[in-house]
Structure 1
Amino acid sequence: MPQHPDDRTPRHRLSRRGLLKLTGGLAVAGAAGGTAAITIGGSADAAPAAFTHPGLLHAYGELNRAKVRVAAGTDPWLAGWNRLTANSHSQSTWTPRPVATVVRGGTGENYGSLYNDIHAAYQNALRWKIAGTAAHGDCAVAILNAWSSTLTTVTGNADRFLAAGLYGWQFANAAELMRDHSGFDLGRFRTMMKEVFHPLNEQFLTGHNDACITNYWANWDLCNVASVMAIGILCDDSALYDRAVDYFKNGAGNGAIRKAVPFLHPDGLAQWQESGRDQGHTMMGMGQMGAICEMAWNQGDDLYGYDDNRFMKAAQYVAKYNLGQSVPFTTYSWGSGQNCAYNEHTAISASARGQSRPVWDLLHYHYARRRGLAVPYITAMAEQGRPEGGGGDYGTNSGGFDQLGFGTLLYAR
């Protein structure tokens, strides 16, 4: 597929990290415009050269394309931009409300202040990156700096692990966009991510809150894997990044790809682990796994296509059912609690069927445009939700903030 001049991200790319993998640690630094130097081996000093920045949900090509197309007034980018600028969270007048202790689940819940501020930081960061408006850059920095100077603890009942996962990867994405802003205290922010968020991510992925390994739904694993990956990239920590990739491929819990997608069906469809639960959480899973795949893609690793496009087949399945069509279903059983009590789903759930979530344009533009694959159900879901909004556009409860959104603006090709 020919590239537009404003699309600087090649269809098949090799990141600096990928180059290091192929050369066994011998790489030429300066690929992003820095001073050229040769580094040999796996020394700590060489670690930053292994990662591409910006390199979480948005690489240079996506950001530059959005900038060029919005300036030219071209749809669907302009429509996506208008959705962003109309959102109350994207205004440069946003005032952060940091707290020392965030609680999700149980007595004293206050986590709404965290997810609202994260989405405000992210949306203002996008406005700064795409339009260059200083006020929005300053606002994003003020939010990030306020939290990194205040937050010490994320706690609550088991839901604390959801908070650490969801808000860990989202916070890291906002920070990644601002890492080159002179007013941003990146060092202090990275310390917060490693000391407050990452320990909970690792605690969950290792121990699963002392429950049966199948007790927690795929999204619990996925948001924590996404957080470990995002923190690894933000902090130039290869061990964390590799831990996340390995868990995606081989993890013990339901977030590992073959457990999140347990059954393959005919016609290129595959059943999602939460499909018998409800469709809201199932579509949430499309967003969580999509974020993992996109972040890895921007570092030169193709998880989108891993295991013969297993995730794509699941997304097709979820999209087809949520478009109102029928799909096959294999009985899904699992153990719950600490004693692995038997449970099963014998039919797909219609609860929240057709719910709107801004997760589909990311998948459509990857599979249909980057890869040139036919994904008619994903494409149809994307078309009916376009232009995608973000946090604040899909209700005020936490479910509306499970994904960062704005896929039309950022991924259209």
Structure 2
Amino acid sequence: MSVLNKVKSLQRVAALIVLLTLAACDGTAGGRNDVENSMASALSQISPASVLATSPVATSGSFKHPGVLVTRDRLDAVKAQIAANNPVVAHAFDAMKNSVWAAKTYAVQGPPADGRISCDTASTNDHGCKAELRDATAAYTQSLMWYLTGDQTYADNAIAIMNAYSSKLTGGHGGTNGPLQSAWAAEIWPAAAEIIRYTASGWSPDDAKAFATMLTTQYLPSITGENGAGKNGNWKLSMIDGMFGIAVFTDDRSLFDSAVALWKRWVPAYYYNADLDGNAPVTFPGGPGSSHAGGFSWNGQTVFNSAVSGVTQETCRDTQHVGLAIAATFNAAETAYIQGTDLYTVEQQRLTTALEFLSTLLRGVRNTSQIAYTDVPADLLGSLCSGSSAPNTDKFVPVLKGTMVRAYNAYAIRNKVDLPETNAHVMDDIIPFAIPDDGHNVQWEVLTHGGWGATNAQ
């Protein structure tokens, strides 16, 4: 994609933000002059020079810190864009700043007094699970707020949350959803810890060491080994992402290498590509969905050809879970890239095809329900979800998730891959309408990786 086209894409976003802001203020889009004046002010912050890429991170023998999802260079670039009042960044920053996770009065909610966390399918019988995800999300949000504002209160809040867990969580994660719950939290904690440990003051070396010990004793056992085998693929992909973060924070090269190998094994088995895979998806014992019966291991996707190239193992379940898998896939790839391992290029054909296929299905979607079944597009009837159980044959659940942004930044902006459908979905749907942080592993992507300039900063 040319620099000019990148600028035009950002201009579309700025226009959307201006219109949405005006509508939110007085219930209308305002007069023509007001719109034009506001848009001109917003667009003046965007120039071709702001989207030029720099060199990728060089491979080194040690880990780069902070180095989970973001680096100091990238955070500095975010700060610069906020200071320049870039409309995309300013809007994303305000959303984060005004969230419950960024409250200066945020009070840690867990872990439970007995030191263990447990929940069952669909997070029922919740014993500290939702509280854990709220606290992990708050720790990451507060760490970002600390770096972007310089206000020590935020760093102190993040430290207090992390210390509460490292001192009180002793019983690990139980219940049928325990391993998945552990993965979701493990994806978030290291990102917060990296920022605080390597950019802030106030976290003692002993406390940071205790937090690292907690990650390796209370989380790692639940996300390694056979955990996640045979489950829907978002489970293992989330576990792999968690492994990457823990490896970086604990400087564990062996764990990092294991995560790389698992990513390379599970990604081809989750994302089908007709040119690479022929007329059947990649499978292996214990792979995505392998514990499910017969042809329904792909949740009703039984046709594999060029018409559905890019379909995932969970597309015919609901795209809510696909969004979680996408977030995990690209969170892991971004952390690996920061550390000098380019997984993006390894599976570029497979993953860009999947992004384009899913983006086509999700154009214009505003739904956030996991049970809102809708008809498969007419041109895919008989190809997509035709093996689903009645009455859901030829139906799927499109869900708008606040992800794909990190993936788009990596491929379209950094590597100049033309992704028109993904561009349209990101610019017209995700940035203006998706919840910027809807929990689990979807965290503030527009703010940190929104293709707004200095896009390759590491």
Normalised by the size of structure 1, how large is the TM-score? 0.77
User: Unaligned regions of 5+ residues in structure 1, if any?
Assistant: 21-49, 251-255, 335-342, 392-399
- The alpha-carbon distance between structure 1 residues 331 and 108, as it changes in their structure 2 partners (threshold 3 A), is closer
- Amino acid of the structure 1 residue aligned with 2:322: T
Alignment of 1:1-80 (within 5 A): 10-16=54-60, 20=61, 50-80=62-92
User: Unaligned regions of 5+ residues in structure 2, if any?
Assistant: 4-46, 275-304, 365-376, 454-458
Tell me the equivalent position of 1:193.
215
- The alpha-carbon distance between structure 1 residues 157 and 63, as it changes in their structure 2 partners (threshold 3 A), is same
Paired with 2:168 and 2:223, the residues of 1 have a C-alpha distance of 20
Tell me the equivalent position of 1:141.
159
Residues 67-99 of structure 1, C-alpha deviation per residue, up to 9 Å, x if partnerless?
A: 111012122111111111110111121011232
Asked if the contact 2:330–2:406 (Cα under 8 Å) also holds between the matched residues in 1, the reply is yes
Q: Larger radius of gyration, structure 1 or 2?
A: 2
Asked if the contact 2:173–2:222 (Cα under 8 Å) also holds between the matched residues in 1, the reply is no
Asked if the contact 2:74–2:448 (Cα under 8 Å) also holds between the matched residues in 1, the reply is yes
- The alpha-carbon distance between structure 1 residues 7 and 186, as it changes in their structure 2 partners (threshold 3 A), is farther
Tell me the equivalent position of 1:179.
197
| Among candidates 289, 305, 310, match of residue 270 of structure 1 | 310
Residues 291-339 of structure 1, C-alpha deviation per residue, up to 9 Å, x if partnerless?
A: 11111111111212223431221121111111266675868999xxxxx
Q: How many residues are treated as equivalent by the alignment?
A: 352
- The alpha-carbon distance between structure 1 residues 326 and 225, as it changes in their structure 2 partners (threshold 3 A), is farther
Alignment of 1:215-234 (within 5 A): 215-234=230-249
Tell me the equivalent position of 1:28.
none
Tell me the equivalent position of 1:380.
424
Asked if the contact 2:170–2:218 (Cα under 8 Å) also holds between the matched residues in 1, the reply is yes
Paired with 2:102 and 2:182, the residues of 1 have a C-alpha distance of 23
Paired with 2:48 and 2:169, the residues of 1 have a C-alpha distance of 43
Asked if the contact 1:125–1:136 (Cα under 8 Å) also holds between the matched residues in 2, the reply is yes
- Amino acid of the structure 1 residue aligned with 2:186: G
- Amino acid of the structure 2 residue aligned with 1:350: F
Compute the RMSD of aligned alpha carbons. 3.0
- Amino acid of the structure 1 residue aligned with 2:253: S
- Could you say what secondary structure the match of 2:216 adopts? helix
- Amino acid of the structure 2 residue aligned with 1:385: I
Normalised by the size of structure 2, how large is the TM-score? 0.70
* Structure with higher strand content: 1
Paired with 1:8 and 1:382, the residues of 2 have a C-alpha distance of 19
Tell me the equivalent position of 1:26.
none
Paired with 2:194 and 2:209, the residues of 1 have a C-alpha distance of 12
* Structure with higher helix content: 2
- The alpha-carbon distance between structure 1 residues 152 and 291, as it changes in their structure 2 partners (threshold 3 A), is same
Moved more, 376-385 or 190-199: 376-385
Asked if the contact 1:320–1:326 (Cα under 8 Å) also holds between the matched residues in 2, the reply is no
- The alpha-carbon distance between structure 1 residues 348 and 121, as it changes in their structure 2 partners (threshold 3 A), is farther
Paired with 1:192 and 1:360, the residues of 2 have a C-alpha distance of 30
Paired with 1:76 and 1:142, the residues of 2 have a C-alpha distance of 31
Mapped pair 1:283 → 2:298: no
- Could you say what secondary structure the match of 1:304 adopts? helix
| Among candidates 244, 264, 268, match of residue 258 of structure 1 | 268
Identity over the aligned pairs, expressed in percent?
21
Mapped pair 1:91 → 2:103: yes
